Amino acid sequence: MPAKAVIDAVEARLAAHWTSTVIVPYDTNAYPPDLDSFLVHQYSVVNGAKPVVQRLFWEEGGIRFVLNVRRGIGIEQGMIWSDELSALFRYSKFGGVETFETSGPIIDDTTEEGEWISYSIVVRFRYEYTTALTP
């Protein structure tokens, strides 16, 4: 689980810059909404690290964005949105979060789920923070 500051920073960046689809919070819907497309973000890998500097800590991991597009809209539109999402988060700094390279979506039989085609993008991130030393 990432730090709340990471989730807040990612959500703020999406709210400020992502207008292509609706953003669905991860824990609000058990079923896909009645829309043509929507975006969900998850945190599949998060690790803590402590560099040499005292009181400095890193949280590193991957932000997984899953862009769900209703079947029939077309792969071209899904790829356009995937490229826009990658560009929004590739090598950026915002809210104390630094992002790096992005992985492109895999397109094969595993990305089909009923009426939906999912385009999954993973962005590697680092969150740097300090904390008071405890005796």
Distance (Å, whole) CA 10 – CA 62: 12
The CATH topology of domain 4-130 is: STM4215-like (3.30.2000)
pLDDT tens for residues 101-123? 999 888 777 677 778 889 999 99
Q: Quote the Cα angle for 81-82-86, to 5°.
A: 115
Helices 75-89 and 4-17, interaxial angle, to 10°? 120
pLDDT tens for residues 69-87? 998 888 899 999 999 999 9
Q: The whole model's pTM is what? A: 0.83
* Mean pLDDT for the stretch of residues 13-24: 94
DSSP assignments along 8-51, one per residue: HHHHHHHHHH--SSEE--TTT-SS--SSSEEEEEEEEEEEEE--
- Mean of the per-residue pLDDT values of the chain: 85
